[in-house]
Structure 1
Amino acid sequence: MNNTRVLGRQLKAHGKRAFHLAESLAEILAQPLGLESTYIKDHFPPETSFLRLNRYAPCPFSSQVFGFFPHTDSDLLTIVHQDQVGGLELFKDGRWVGIKPNSKALVVNVGDLFEALSNGVYKSIKHRVRANEKVERFSVAFFFCPTMDTVIQSCSTTEPAVYKSFTFQEYKEQMQKDVHELGDKVGLSRFFL
């Protein structure tokens, strides 16, 4: 039981550090977009974000099986700490590119909400995780999310909006509906103007 408490404290501390990092990065990235200076602090309290621990078991059919299917993240930012095993891939220029693992570095993904807020200036990149044939893989992902009633709308004053305004609640509900009916997340394309 003592190990469980220690792990719990470590995860809580990691979550706090990840939250502050995500908040700082979001504020920096939001500045050139013209978002209100208090937008991030007003709409992204600590209790709306979360950590997810991922364990990918070894798989003898790793070339045919994903540890995690191709997707984009539905939050504002995702901060990932991965181990040295590797397997994270990004879809770039029409092909899958492996991210060299570095257990001393963090991977930061822009999520769908930042793409919509930035009117497409920042891109929510499709990514996946390949299973490893012989070794299990671990990662910790922190998802920086707003309150459910936060309105997501383009903050561009010079370009026409690409996406209609929506709340995070509406986005999540549409995602769940698509997954239930279609077996996959459709994402931001549901909110094109």
Structure 2
Amino acid sequence: MNLESYPPLFSELSNQEEYLSSDHHQKVDTVDSIIIKPVVQDSDPIPVIDLQSLSLDELGEACKDWGLFRLVNHGVPPSLLNQLQDHAKTLYSLPFQSKQALFTTPTSYFWGTPALTPSGAPLSRGPQKINWVEGFNIPISQLSQLQPLHPVLASFRLLLEDYGKHLARLAKTIYEAMAMKLKLDEEQSKSNLSESTGNIRVYRYPSCSIPDTAWGIDVHTDSSVLSILYECEVGGLEVLRDDEWFQVKPICNALIVNLGDMMQAISNDNYKSVKHRVKLNKHKERISICYFVFPDEDSVIRSSKYKPFTYNDFRAQVQEDIKTHGFKLGLESFKLSEAL
């Protein structure tokens, strides 16, 4: 455990096992005030979609029933995936201050909170009040502006450019297949996914001596149209389906695709934005790389379930939700009242 590389609060809390394990900090596993059953561990029922023999029916079922699927035969070279993981590990092993200095505008370094909210020391010093995660947020369209202030960062930038092209291809292919299955208007749906909005977040979830007292990332939905995740070593991702949590076991060279809030609205609630979380590991840190893609910022999303809104509207509402409530309300803020 390289505590020098951790954000200072993580280092401090990592040395406070007695504090971490106190009864005061034990968590009740709930979502929206519903008691959730224990995590299902004995099977791996996550749907698998083969991109080389893509079935619209199988894709539609996975999006409707799970909001998530494992993608295979996607065409991303295994060597590229391995190099990205190795470079990420090297960068995260740098001292905390070095990472802060390396990742500046247009990229950013965050810790303790989702990337969408400000980073920094939380009001409460209890670990359950923060996300036990740090990350680099990297807009793909602005990668050329990233200053290679470290030799590993210079080669990492080239790898990310290559990876971004592959992921833009995958996102476009998957979205067009979903739009076809949903019978969306072709012209109207074109602006619902914009390659220029793609960004990559590289996460590190430090090991935690008492992992049941904190979450890497607590229960949430993504705000994106699609999120495409790569992680092949440690595991920890859990998804909610029918009030049960399921582990998503890591499989090297496979990608995990999950639908976000924008896709749920675009699909008129036929597809779901999956609730998920990341559980910590007591002995190993976890590195994951996630690509997020959104609609054009000014593209209006229209649905019989929601008031017309743009992603700009949605993002502003999320920030307001966090200030007011401390968490994201998401699509609930735009939902139309039921007809009388």
TM-score (norm 2): 0.53
Distance 1:185 1:41 in 2: 27
Q: How far did 1:39 drift? A: 4.4
Q: Is the 8 A contact 2:193 2:225 kept in 1?
A: no
Correspondences of 1:181-192 after superposition (within 5 Å): 181-192=324-335
Give me the whole-angstrom Cα distance separating, in 1, the residues matched to 2:184 and 2:301: 11
Q: SS state of the match for residue 101, structure 1?
A: coil
Select which of 20, 26, 47 maps to 2:196. Answer: 47
Q: Which residue of structure 2 aligns with residue 23 of structure 1? A: 172
| 1:169 and 2:318 aligned | no
Who is 1:87 aligned against?
A: 236
Q: Which runs of 4+ in 1 moved over 3 A?
A: 38-45
For 2:270, the aligned partner's letter is V
> SS at 1:80's partner residue?
strand
Q: Is the 8 A contact 2:222 2:261 kept in 1?
A: yes
Aligned positions of 1:139-178 closer than 5 A: 139-154=288-303, 161-178=304-321
Cross-structure match for 1:14: 163
* CA contact 1:54–1:139 (8 Å) conserved in 2: yes
Q: Which runs of 5+ in 2 are unaligned?
A: 1-149
Deviations 1:11-39 (A, max 9, x none): 11111111110111001001122223244
In structure 2, relative to structure 1, the CA distance for the partners of 1:17 and 1:41 (3 Å cut) is farther
Letter in 2 for 1:162: K
8 Å CA contact 1:23, 1:40 repeated in 2: no
> Aligned-pair distance for 1:40?
5.0
Following the alignment from structure 2 to structure 1, what is the Cα–Cα distance between the partners of residues 284 and 189? 39
Asked whether the 8 Å contact 2:240–2:274 carries over to 1, the reply is: yes
- The more displaced of 31-40 and 108-117 is 31-40
- Distance, in Å, in 2 between the alignment partners of 1:77 and 1:43 is 11
Contact 2:194 2:293 in 1 (8 A): no
Identity of paired residues, percent? 37
| SS of structure 2 residue aligned to 1:151 | coil
Give, as a single letter, the amino acid of the residue that structure 2 aligns with 1:72: T
The separation in 2 between residues aligned to 1:143 and 1:118, in whole angstroms, is: 18
Cα distance between partner residues in 2 of 1:38 and 1:12: 29
The question of 1:36 aligning with 2:221 is answered no
Aligned to 1:157: none
CA distance in 1, matches of 2:196, 2:310: 17
- 1:101 and 1:173 map into 2 onto residues whose CA distance is 34
Match in the other structure for 2:80? none
Tell me if structure 2 keeps the 8 A contact 1:81–1:140.
yes
Which stretch has the larger CA shift, 176-185 or 2-11? 2-11
User: Is residue 209 of structure 2 the alignment partner of residue 71 of structure 1?
Assistant: no
TM-score, scaled relative to structure 1: 0.92
How many residues are paired up? Answer: 187
SS of the equivalent of 1:66 reads coil
Give how far 1:53 is off.
0.3
